[in-house]
Structure 1
Amino acid sequence: MAAITAGMVAQLRERTGLGMMECKRALSETDGDLEAAVELLRKKGVKDKGDRVAGEGLVMAYISDGGTDGALVELNSETDFVARNDDFKALARLLAEKSAVGKGSTPDDVLGDPGLKGFFDETVRTIGEKIVFGRLTRFNAAPGNTLVSYVHNPGGPSTDGGKIGVLIELSGADVAELGREVAMHISFSKPRFLMATDVDAVTVAKEKAILTEQTQADPKMAGKPAQVIEGAVQGRLNKFLGEIVLLNQPYIRDDKKTVGQLVKETAGASIVRFACFQVGENVKKAEG
């Protein structure tokens, strides 16, 4: 009889959503063969969740009462129907809260709490669909700073989660309203970086190489001196940075000014960092 390890049991639980003892019993009956155990359980009516893609779900935000700790989490499901389930929303809210006040930096760290993992597993069994705690980010604000969250949910309150969520940290006094405006902008424009100096050299070099080839192939540039072509490339590169850098983006409510200019209108304010999640953007989709 092969030894049944905790890892083997965990894999089978992931595949089936069953409890630990049920999985251990199935593995014992199949001498530790995972696939045979899955097949055995399928014959008993248990669905194999291993090949299903959890690409739907919710983004949920949480900020502690003191305003110093915040988290943004993504909880994934197979269908949008399940994402509207009250049990699913309750699980997402709990994961966001535990992520904000905990110390771990990954979903596995947060689910290391036996009580929380038990609740997670029970919810999965109740819903009967593959559910994955996709990712999280946690901000612990520096003294005096402000955390603001925004979840885009046209059909209901932000406490029900949504398809896009933003968490932002700002410095300065009376910046909550500014933070909400910027967070809403981020949810729409989806910048990748806060400021131009945050853009890594590899990204800049790759884009510049592409733009150089495009510019050189442009009939309008035929016969132009090298410095003219270089100036055109730089102009296009600046436009690219304006699209991916938050402070360089045109503000969605007034495109005559940038987000950076909007921030400067609030004395002493600055954006420290931000995170933006969109449901399913990091989920590997099934082929075919």
Structure 2
Amino acid sequence: MNFESEYRIRPNQQVSLDTIETRTRGPFERKSDGKAVTEENVKVIRDLQYRMFVEREQSLLIVLQAPDAAGKDGLIRKVLGKMNPQGCRTYPFKVPNETELAHDFLWRIHHCTPSKGKVAIFNRSHYEDVLVVRVENLVPKSVWSKRFELINDFERILTANGTRVLKFYLHISPEEQLERFKERLDNPDKHWKLNAGDYESRRHWDAFHRAYEEVFQKCSTEDAPWYVVPADRKWYRNAVVSSIVAKTLRDMAPQLPPVDVDLDEIRQLYHQAHARQQESS
């Protein structure tokens, strides 16, 4: 299966999340098959991220959006977090503070975008300003409705500067979400994740779906596409996202810089140093 083509939202495509499956095995007969694909993709991602870090000509921004408990943290921990931390950083965007609210909604976002050679992962993102603010009526429609085009302009600036942008929506069912909430309740190590607000948000499930659908239609572009990834099965989610990230990095084709030293001279210096070391020992 071509995951990149299967789950990509085309520009101006109308999306109905209610009709998109959340639980699938795709082309995999066994869970182990999907995990094997993820493991191989992680190796490719690590290698190409290293090349990009050394090349310092391009960068990659990965945006993760999802309902609570859909697996953003797990995806980062098991897949994206395997990259070299010297060239990769995760930004978890929470409720904006007083200083951030005193600026435009993209102010706190822009300085977190990746510099050349780097990867940035957004755990939630600038899209909260056309999602939660809309559903919870934090700002009027006259404000948030203008932000779609501002977001497109913002992402256009990034791509024009050599940053590839990938945006993933982890699509889970309300039944699966509730089961994961139960797992948190039953596991003391996960009690820190418990939040009464998560249950309140379930009351707005349909409203969030409608908000996301407008995001996908208006903000999935050729250069900054959205992908709706079935996420009820964690291993399948990981296989899909890792495949798309690996393919993107292959397309970016980062190259190691050309050698600008005399290798024969360096080898000679090495052998001289080795000989002196042998004599002293």
TM range (shorter): under 0.3
User: Which has the larger helix fraction?
Assistant: 2
Larger Rg: 1
The normalised TM-score by structure 1 is: 0.23
Structure with greater contact order relative to length (CA < 8 Å, sep ≥ 6): 2
Greater strand fraction, Structure 1 or Structure 2: 1
